[in-house]
Amino acid sequence: MDLRTTDAEEAFRGDLRRWLGEVLPDLPQRPAPSDWPGRRAYDTHWQRLLFDSGYAGIDWPVEGGGRGSTPVEELIFKEELARAHAPYVGVNFVGLLHAGPTVIAEGTAEQRQRYLPPILRGDEVWCQGFSEPDAGSDLASLRTRAVRDGDDYVITGSKIWTSHAEVADYCELLVRTGAEDSRHRGISWLILPMDTPGVDIRPLRTIAGSTEFAELFLDEVRVPVTNRVGDENDGWRVTMVTLSFERGTAFVGDLLEAVELLSATVTLAVRTGAWADPGVRRQAGHLRAELDALWALTRRNVSQAARTGIPGMGGTYFKLAYTETRTRLGEFSLSLLGRAGLAADDLAATDGLGDLPAETMVEDWLRGISLTIAAGTSQIQRNIVGERILGLPKEPVAPTAAAAAAAPATAAAPAR
Amino acid sequence: MDFEPTESQVDLAEGVRRLCAGRFSLEKVRAFEQVDRVVDRAGWRALGEAGVFSLCLAEEAGGVGLGLAEASLVFEELGRAMIPGPLVATHLAAGLIDGADDGSVVVGLVDALPTGPGITPMVVEHLADLDVLLVLSDAGVAAVDPHDLEADALARPLDPLTPLWSVASPPEGTPVAGPDIAAWWRRDGAVLTAALQIGSAAWCTDLAVDYAKERRQFGRPIGGFQAVKHLCADMAVRTELARCAVQAAAVTVDQPGVGDPDLAAAGAKLLADDAAVANGRSCIQVHGGMGFTWEVPAHLAFKRARVRATQFGTADSLAETLAASLAPSAADVV
């Protein structure tokens, strides 16, 4: 067990830190959260800056146009960007962390050549079409249907939680190509150009007021068969390959952000006098211990990935533990704001609390509620730990989807 | 950076696990329940011969010359086996008290800090087993002859494998080490006690999971129900998170410059205590009514976890240590 970094790793960190020091002061102001075209322009400009300096696709293999760095360097990269408050991947999330790695692992040479460079350059933005109104935690029950018609698939159905759909050029789309009740064995992974006729986007507003999610309605949308990644009906495996990669270090930025939020919260407690309360101090101390432990767990996960090339189950542990800590941290901040936490406005700034991000604290608390839901709810994560790590009996699955459809009276109501 | 255990570290832990399985089976350990003396002297010497106590002692001084990282892996195994006796104290005393390193002497330790708010008598563990009792204070470490101590045995100790004595007036003893040693003992003692807690938390997870696979109700193994499955999953998550904290703390002590060892130790102990106590509780819960019986060993791990949670820092004192790193001291604020 070794936590020391090598001279080469520190040199990489030093170069990156210098580069960030040069470029960050010249970045324009980040557009308002609801200005999606503005956010796209901002996020893709940042991606282009990374690309031009050799920092795009830091963990992508060289064949995929990436830098081919080690998992440890990737961790340092994320750590330094977060510490310097560099922009987050933003609208490039799906392209860089999902679709790109999937195309690298499972795409044809032509697909890699066509789709990877524009992602790294920030030229093309991707969104994700996985979940459906009736297929959330039970993703394998998805029903969006793709029927072969000559050299095309004709797709009809709907998708939900499609982040950044309004500004995306492509969608990684999971469709049913097998029989209705084929579950995992009848799913294919397609590349859907978002300007194809028959694609209708309807934005969803979250409880935090934000609009990054959308619903996607697909009405006889034609996609060439050559846009399929992996074999027909093999899309489930194709998806799982990349999901496991995403869980390794995806939360590094979030974790460091949480460390800063705790620090700001403590400053708030000191200024309001709440720090004199031992209960407040002990909550803060406990949160500090949890965040430190999560950082140690991250390093364990990265070390595992570096040794085996495949992230282990540690990502599931991390997601469960981190999202709960983060939720409690949000509650802690909000409780210290008192009635100033009733609005996401900087009331605190006018009240002698100076530069403290009261606005961020309120937004963060609300956003935090999604953490234990998105990317697999905590309940599903606990099933995964229980079944795949501890070997407990699996959850029962209804005999067939066809049987469930035959009993419409008991079928779940559409989510909308 | 490679935070995974090396091959030799894994081998070391496996060797100790085998030794424990042979020498300290649960049946053998339980034979010592509710007696004054719980230390099996031959077993203690076997631990000494295996290097458990001299692990961190320099090779020139006759030790194994390894670090706290290795010790944390070894102590996780000792915790898993629920071996009774002052394991951490004897390990810390190696090199300072003759015979501690090879297990021929059993050394106990008590912190001179108040036992609890407004509680003056000292509560000392394992007195009848001890050859030497060390008293830890800010001033340093003092040695006391246990036979000279005026102490009253407590008739009903919480953990049947941790006999207790009450000592009305703290003894002075003979100084054997200064404040520096006392400070690093408090830190390393916290890490090693936390490692014992991890072993206990992991053992509880295994016991609960095995039972949940076996026990059937409503025509199915109870582990197939989410209510039970999720209790078990939470046990595993708590253990793994705390294990990372403990091992990172141990490495932080061994490798200067990678972090603040005192804070890492405090955080590790805090989370390991939480994990061991919560897993003991969950292990009882998964066993249902049987979990509340003396026969099922879940209570032993639960009770020992409570004992360890009072050693080398309590939840409150550890959280205060961590809080102090986040802001000026409370006194400055008020």
Instruction: Note if A246 is an active site residue.
Output: yes
Please report the ipTM that was assigned to this predicted complex: 0.95
Mean pLDDT of A163-169: 93
Contact: B224, A393; criterion CB under 8 Å:
yes
Check A382 against B230: CB less than 8 A apart. Answer: yes
Q: Do B5 and A306 touch (CB under 8 A)?
A: no
Per the rule left: phi > 0, alpha: psi between -120 and 50, beta: everything else, A161 is left
For residue A156, the cross-strand partners are A145
Average pLDDT over residues A326-342: 90
pLDDT greater than 50 at residue A169: yes
Domain covering A247-389, topology: Butyryl-CoA Dehydrogenase, subunit A; domain 3 (1.20.140)
Better-predicted residue by pLDDT, B283 or A415: B283
Residue of B205, B240, B317 to mutate, testing the A interface (most A Cβ within 10 Å of its Cβ): B240
User: What is the tens place of the pLDDT at every residue in A274-323?
Assistant: 999 999 999 999 999 999 999 999 999 999 888 877 767 888 999 999 99
- Chain centroid to CA A307: how far? 24
Q: Return the pLDDT at A399.
A: 63
Q: Which residues of chain B have pLDDT under 50?
A: 333-334
**Residue A362 binned pLDDT confidence (cut-offs 50, 70, 90):** confident
Task: Indicate the range of A4-13, A272-281, A347-356, B240-249 predicted with least confidence.
Answer: A347-356
pLDDT band, residue A251 (cuts 50/70/90) = confident
Q: Is the pLDDT of residue A70 over 90?
A: no
Pairwise CA distance, residues B87 & B72, whole Å: 12
pLDDT given for residue A306 in this prediction? 84
Contact A229, A189 (CB under 8 A): yes
Residues of B in contact with A296 (CB under 8 A): 3, 244-245, 247-248
Nearest-Cα residue of chain B relative to residue A267: B327
* pLDDT > 90? residue A397: no
**CATH number, domain A127-234:** 2.40.110.10
Over 90: is that where the pLDDT of A272 sits? no
Q: What is the mean pLDDT of residues A182-193?
A: 97
Low-confidence winner among A189-203, A386-400, B12-26, B288-302 (lowest mean pLDDT): A386-400
List chain B residues with CB under 8 Å of A267.
327
Taking CA atoms, what residue in B is nearest to A378? B230
At residue A247, the pLDDT reads 57
pLDDT confidence bin for A212, thresholds 50/70/90: confident
- Interatomic CA distance for residues B138 and A294, integer angstroms: 32
Subunit contact A285:B320, Cβ cutoff 8 A: yes
Which pLDDT score, from 0 to 100, does residue B105 have?
A: 98
pLDDT tens-digit profile of A80-114?
999 999 998 899 999 998 899 899 989 999 999 99
CA B35 to chain centre: 20
Beta bridge partners of B173: none
Minimum distance, in Å, between the CA of residue A265 and any CA atom of chain B = 10
- What whole-number distance in Å separates Cα of residue A373 and Cα of residue B274? 25
User: Mean pLDDT throughout A388-402?
Assistant: 80
Pick the residue from chain A with its C-alpha nearest to B250.
A1
Q: Which of A246, A257, A359, A363 is catalytic?
A: A246
The reply to whether residue B236 touches residue A5, judged by beta carbons under 8 angstroms, is no
Residue A357 is predicted with a pLDDT of 67
Give the predicted TM-score (pTM) of the model: 0.93
Residue A337 pLDDT class (50, 70, 90 cuts): confident
Q: Domain boundaries in chain A? A: 7-88, 127-234, 247-389
A interface test, pick of B237, B255, B317, B318 with most A CB neighbours within 10 Å: B237
Select the residue from B244, B279, B320, B329 to test the A interface by mutation, using most A Cβ atoms within 10 A. Answer: B244
pLDDT for A313: 82
Local confidence band at A71 (pLDDT 50, 70, 90 cut-offs):
confident
Do the Cβ atoms of B226 and A379 come within 8 Å?
Answer: yes
Q: Helix/strand/coil (H, E, C) string of chain A?
A: CECCCCHHHHHHHHHHHHHHHHHHHHCCCCCCCCCHHHHHHHHHHHHHHHHHCCCCCCCCCHHHCCCCCCHHHHHHHHHHHHHCCCCCCHHHHHHHHHHHHHHHHHCCHHHHHHHHHHHHHCCCCEEEECCECCECCCHHHCCCEEEEECCEEEEEEEECCCCCHHHCCEEEEEEECCCCCCHHHHEEEEEEECCCCCEEEEECCCCCCCCCCEEEEEEEEEEEHHHEECCCCEHHHHHHHHHHHHCCCCCHHHHHHHHHHHHHHHHHHHHHCHHHCHHHHHHHHHHHHHHHHHHHHHHHHHHHHHHHCCCCCHHHHHHHHHHHHHHHHHHHHHHHHHHHHHCCCCCHHHHCCCCCCHHHHHHHHHHHHHHCCCCCCHHHHHHHHHHHHCCCCCCCCCCCHHHHHCCHHHCCCCCC
Q: Does residue A287 contact residue A332 with C-beta atoms inside 8 Å?
A: yes
Fold topology of B181-326: Butyryl-CoA Dehydrogenase, subunit A; domain 3 (1.20.140)
